[in-house]
Structure 1
Amino acid sequence: MLVDKFGRVIDYLRISVTELCNFKCRYCMPEDNQFNNIGRDNILSYEEMFEFVKICLDNGVKKVRLTGGEPLVRKDIQKFVKMINDYKPGLDLAMTTNGYYLKQKAKELREAGLKRLNISLDTLDAKKANFLARKEVLSYVLAGIDEAVNEGFVIKLNTVALRGVNDGELIELLEFAKSKNAQIRYIEFMENTHAASDLKGLKKDDILEILSKKYSIKEITKSPNSPSSLFVTSDGYKFGIIDPHKHDFCASCNRLRLSADGLLIPCLYYEDGQSIKEAMRARDYTKAREILKAVLDAKPEKNKWENDGKGEISSRAFYQTGG
Structure 2
Amino acid sequence: MNQPPDTDRFGRRVSYLRLSVTDRCNLRCAYCFRRENITFLRHEDILRYEEMLSIIEAAVSTGVDKVRLTGGEPLVRRDFLWFMQEIGRRFPGLDLRLTTNATLLSGKVDALRRAGLSRVNISIDSLDRSTYALIAGRDFLPQVMSAVSECLDAGLTVKLNAVALRGVSDREMPAFLELARDRDLDIRFIECMPVGEAGLEQRDRFIGADELLELASNHVKLSPVPRSSASSGPARVFSLEGGRGRLGLISPMTNHFCRTCNRLRVTADGHLRTCLFSDRSYLLRPALHHPRLGVEGVARIMRAAARNKPVGHDLLRDARVRSRMSAVGG
2:281 corresponds to: 273
1:238 corresponds to: 246
The answer to whether structure 1 residue 291 and structure 2 residue 301 are counterparts is yes
Preserved contact between residue 81 and residue 113 of structure 1 (Cα < 8 Å)? yes
Preserved contact between residue 278 and residue 312 of structure 2 (Cα < 8 Å)? no
Preserved contact between residue 203 and residue 243 of structure 1 (Cα < 8 Å)? yes
Separation of aligned partners in 2, 1:227 and 1:285: 30
Preserved contact between residue 18 and residue 68 of structure 1 (Cα < 8 Å)? yes
1:157 corresponds to: 160
Structure 1 stretch 232-241 or stretch 311-320: which is displaced more?
232-241
Structure 1 stretch 174-183 or stretch 278-287: which is displaced more?
278-287
2:329 alignment partner AA: G
1:26 corresponds to: 30
**TM-align CA RMSD:** 2.0
Match for residue 271 of structure 2 among 263, 269, 274: 263
Distance 1:311 1:165, change over 3 A: farther
For the residue of structure 1 that corresponds to 2:280, the secondary structure is coil
1:208 corresponds to: 213
For the residue of structure 2 that corresponds to 1:52, the secondary structure is helix
> TM-score under structure 2 normalisation?
0.90
1:163 alignment partner AA: R
* Superposition deviation, residue 248 in structure 1: 4.7
Separation of aligned partners in 1, 2:193 and 2:283: 26
- State the identity %: 37
1:6 corresponds to: 10
For the residue of structure 1 that corresponds to 2:198, the secondary structure is coil
Residue pairs, 1:1-323, within 5 angstroms: 1-3=4-6, 4-35=8-39, 37-195=40-198, 197-198=201-202, 199-223=204-228, 226-235=233-242, 237-282=245-290, 284-304=294-314, 312-323=319-330
2:21 alignment partner AA: V
Separation of aligned partners in 2, 1:86 and 1:314: 36
Preserved contact between residue 18 and residue 69 of structure 1 (Cα < 8 Å)? yes
Segments of 5+ residues of structure 2 without an aligned counterpart are none
* Superposition deviation, residue 235 in structure 1: 2.8
Length, aligned pairs only:
319
> TM-score under structure 1 normalisation?
0.92
* Superposition deviation, residue 87 in structure 1: 2.4
Distance 1:53 1:101, change over 3 A: same
Separation of aligned partners in 2, 1:15 and 1:275: 14
